[in-house]
Amino acid sequence: MLYLLGVLAVFIGIAVSIALHEIGHLVPAKLFRVRCTQYMVGFGPTLWSRRRGETEYGVKAIPLGGYVRMIGMFPSRAGDDGKLRASSSNPLHLMIEQARQDSLEEVGPEDADRVFYKLPVWKRVVVMAGGPLMNLAISAVLITLLLTVQGLPVATPQVSAVAACANTDVADDDCTGQDPSPAAAAGFEVGDTIVSVDGTPVDDWAATTYAIQNAGDEATFVVERDGERQELTADLVQRELALMGPDGALVLDEEGEPVYGQASFLGASPTLDHEPQPISAAPPMVGEMFTQTAGIVLTLPQRLVDVSQAAFGSEERDPNGPMSVVGVGRVAGDVTQNGIEGLVESAGERFWLLVSVLASLNMALFVFNLIPLLPLDGGHVAGALWEGLKKSWARVFGRPDPGPVDTAAALPVAYAVAIGLLGMTALLIYADIVRPIQLG
């Protein structure tokens, strides 16, 4: 039941995000008096619709997208009488002319000044950028709520788990043929709060880890247990670990990768707490998420190769890689039902993780739709900006107005992009079924 609840919650969140994305197009289009004949959430057969004024509002069966139908998206050619010309046998030319005719078929004499392509360049940019900017706003609001209400996770020096074995991680408890971990042997218990390491006071887990890694073969700990302080002495073991600096940050090499080396190991895990942040922390976090998402989009071809190798081979899926809506649903269901041991356990933590998933999805919609290729919003923005550049060039050099840019001519590219998107979606859905991303 919890699994289905998580899946349903994230799908509702996606549907609402898509609906608001289309509102981002619809509102400025109506403000600029463009005639909008349809506002639809989803694709496929119409489940429900109702006409208000000149616009039909509705919901379709497959809630994986949406659209606002505006008249006159593509300009007519000079002297065009609105009729489809079949004088060319080139199928691409015929396809372009058909799209041009479809765009103009709803344009009546009274709508001559209400077509999209006659808007000034800046208004067309506002209309087409309104959808992605709505997703950016949704992401920013959700991130702000995460930071100011739940807060950032902070590792405290309170022990949440004690490793059973000296040479395995905290989660392992089969110590056949192994010595107990230093923490277990020294008598550490869950709930102990480490106060000092070898006489050095510590108030967070970063300082505790740094002190342990550099303590040598033996360390004396002062812990607080049930309101009383006790002294525990641990014989530490040396393990290959990611090294930490005194500020708690990982030591990185020239390529930005963690540096590993021999360091002292105790075998105790911290307790994660959440510390609410001021609202001023939100913009940098939004910027960081944008940078990370843009990096994924820019490296998408290579990441899809990695997904293919995982889906059809033995490679592991990158937890930070792309996934389909099926994968997002599985993650939401798993988190809602099982949580993530040591990281996401309470109902509140599970809720906020779903919120972070929706924030990431909206950021992905924002970045992806900025790609300057039709049929994405960025393609329409690029066409409008190119037209503005051509007209500015003509004015500077005293040349005639070149007229609107014929974005219909880019439709073959749009169809190729659409086919590529369908192929990518099919690959990601298959990978999310046979080798889903595992969190935790």
The single-letter DSSP state of residue 194 is E
**Rounded-to-integer distance, Cα 125 and Cα 85, Å:** 30
The answer for residues whose C-beta is within 8 angstroms of residue 266's C-beta and 6 or more apart is 181, 182, 183, 188, 212, 219, 234, 236
The answer for residues whose C-beta is within 8 angstroms of residue 107's C-beta and 6 or more apart is 71, 72, 115
The answer for residues whose C-beta is within 8 angstroms of residue 217's C-beta and 6 or more apart is 235, 236, 238, 264
Nearest to 424 by CA among 332, 320, 359, 327: 327
- Residue from 22, 54, 254, 315 carrying the catalytic annotation: 22
**Rounded-to-integer distance, Cα 41 and Cα 317, Å:** 31
Per the annotation, the verdict on 257 as an active-site residue is no
Work out the number of other CB atoms within 10 angstroms of the CB of residue 408. 24
The answer for residues whose C-beta is within 8 angstroms of residue 109's C-beta and 6 or more apart is none
Q: Where are the alpha helices (DSSP H) in 193-275?
A: 205-213
The single-letter DSSP state of residue 263 is E
Contact 120, 32 (CB under 8 A): no
Catalytic residues: 22
